[in-house]
């Protein structure tokens, strides 16, 4: 049984007139990977109407599927807060395009059972499984037994004072968050069941707060629950900025790698939103090992670009990740243009 070369990156939201060449020098890395995936942050369709009540809606034209096929990405996550921005018709168009190009997908479907369905990639004698969930759930996005949508993993938020407001009026509240216990148990059940069918299991969760690197209580809760249930790694996204990397029981939890390719430049985006990285590892029967990062600049109406250790942006990305990951006991060490990642 041979090892598998694994690669993933941040959120992908292409809105281009042509999909050809849209990944630039990153394309070769994906083409050479044995198994790869990322979060597809929007539907690819020319049908549907904007979701009512949403401030921001994204949609790429069908031609953008050619860019995904060109890099031979193994599969994509669809459990996010934009795949239904133009209704279920646009989501179904996207699924149809992915099927036609033989690109796997997970995390959304015609009903809850379909959205919970995992995807399996077989390579070098290993069966590698993927499951996708979203804690970011606009109205009507969560799949049910009778309605299409994304695989929901509901999180709750409360604000409470950490000292007496009679004695300390004006005290800022403490933010407390936790996961819906029914949904969390469903995650455990999914992982335990799917784990019996694969050698290695990777979970993706669309979580966190947009434009914030903060790791919330509910993210730690989900990450630990997933690993305890049998997942070998968990990758998150949605923040659009770099977040922390931690290890739990020697298994990686990547809280957010920002945007790999994102053509919808929101009015609140800034220079922090073009910092990203690719995450690579070797997969064997025991999971992921020899983990590394490749700092890059996000593609915005242009291909993403790998950075050299001689670039100031490379240094900024590494320093950001070191600062945000240090509290989790994660060690990042420069190895040429790459960054070795391991737990202390």
The string of DSSP codes covering 262-290 is: E----TT--GGGGEEEEEEEEEETTEEEE
Q: Are the CB atoms for 171 and 161 separated by under 8 Å? A: yes
What confidence category does residue 152 fall into, taking pLDDT thresholds of 50, 70 and 90? Answer: very high
Work out the percent of the chain whose per-residue pLDDT is above 70.
Answer: 99
Strand, helix or coil at 190? Answer: helix
What confidence category does residue 34 fall into, taking pLDDT thresholds of 50, 70 and 90? Answer: very high
Mean pLDDT rounded to a whole number for the chain: 95
Distance CA 3, CA 135 (A): 33
Torsion sign, CA atoms 325, 330, 331, 332: negative
* Residue pLDDT, tens place only, 312-338: 999 999 999 999 999 999 999 999 999
The residues facing 129 across adjacent strands are 120, 201
Distance CA 322, CA 316 (A): 10
Average pLDDT over residues 126-140: 97
Residue 286, pLDDT > 90, answer: yes
- Going by C-beta distance under 8 Å and a sequence separation of 6 or more, which residues neighbour residue 169? none
* Residue pLDDT, tens place only, 58-81: 999 999 999 999 999 999 999 999
Q: What is the pLDDT of residue 1?
A: 67
Tell me the Ramachandran region of residue 262: left when phi exceeds 0, alpha when psi lies from -120 to 50, beta otherwise. beta
- Neighbour count for residue 211 (Cβ, 10 Å): 14
Distance CA 133, CA 139 (A): 16
Residue 223, pLDDT > 80, answer: yes
Structure tokens at 317: 């990305």
Average pLDDT over residues 303-316: 96
What pTM was computed for the model? 0.96
Average pLDDT over residues 174-180: 94
Q: Are the CB atoms for 85 and 58 separated by under 8 Å? A: yes
Give the residue with greater pLDDT, 1 vs 229: 229
Helix ranges, the chain (H): 27-32, 65-70, 87-100, 112-116, 181-195, 217-229, 312-325
Distance CA 234, CA 61 (A): 30
DSSP code of residue 119 = E
Structure tokens at 9: 């990156």
Q: What is the pLDDT of residue 267?
A: 75
Torsion sign, CA atoms 62, 67, 71, 75: negative
CATH number of 4-343: 3.60.21.10
Residue 201, pLDDT > 80, answer: yes
* Residue pLDDT, tens place only, 154-176: 999 999 877 677 777 888 888 89
Q: What is the pLDDT of residue 19?
A: 92
Average pLDDT over residues 258-268: 86
Of 158, 184, 199, 157, give the one whose Cα is nearest residue 6. 199
Q: Are the CB atoms for 292 and 280 separated by under 8 Å? A: yes
Q: What is the pLDDT of residue 155?
A: 98
- Neighbour count for residue 55 (Cβ, 10 Å): 6
Residue 266, pLDDT > 80, answer: no
């Amino acid at each position: 049984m041979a090892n598998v070369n694994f690669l993933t990156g941040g959120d992908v939201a292409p809105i281009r007139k042509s999909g050809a060449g849209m990944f630039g020098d990153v394309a070769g890395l994906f083409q050479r990977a044995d198994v790869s995936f990322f979060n597809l942050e929007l539907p690819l369709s020319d049908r549907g109407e904007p979701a009512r009540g949403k401030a921001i809606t994204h949609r790429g034209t069908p031609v953008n599927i050619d860019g995904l096929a060109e890099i031979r990405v193994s599969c994509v996550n669809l459990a996010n807060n934009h795949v239904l921005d133009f209704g279920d018709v646009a989501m179904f168009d996207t699924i149809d395009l992915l099927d036609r190009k033989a690109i796997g997908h997970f995390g959304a479907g015609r009903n809850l059972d379909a959205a919970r369905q995992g995807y399996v990639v077989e390579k070098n004698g290993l069966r590698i499984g993927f499951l996708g969930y979203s804690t970011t759930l606009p109205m009507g996005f969560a799949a049910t037994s009778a309605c299409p949508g994304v695989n929901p993993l509901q999180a709750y938020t409360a604000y409470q004072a950490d000292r007496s407001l009679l004695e300390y009026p004006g005290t800022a509240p403490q933010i407390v968050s936790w996961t819906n216990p029914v949904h969390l148990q469903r995650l455990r059940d999914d992982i335990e069941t799917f784990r019996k069918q694969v050698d290695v299991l990777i979970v993706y969760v669309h979580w966190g707060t947009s434009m914030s690197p903060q790791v919330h209580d509910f993210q730690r809760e989900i990450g630990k629950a997933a690993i305890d249930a049998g997942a070998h790694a968990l990758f998150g996204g949605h923040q659009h900025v770099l977040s922390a990397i931690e290890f739990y029981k020697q298994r990686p939890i990547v809280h957010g790698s920002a945007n790999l390719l994102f053509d919808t430049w929101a009015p609140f985006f800034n220079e922090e939103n073009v910092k990203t990285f690719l995450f690579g590892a070797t997969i064997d029967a025991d999971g992921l090992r020899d983990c590394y990062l490749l700092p890059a600049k996000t593609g915005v109406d242009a291909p993403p670009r790998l950075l050299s250790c001689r670039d100031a942006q490379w240094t900024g990305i590494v320093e950001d990740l070191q600062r945000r990951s240090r509290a989790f006991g994660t060690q990042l060490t420069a190895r040429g243009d790459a960054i070795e990642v391991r737990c202390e």
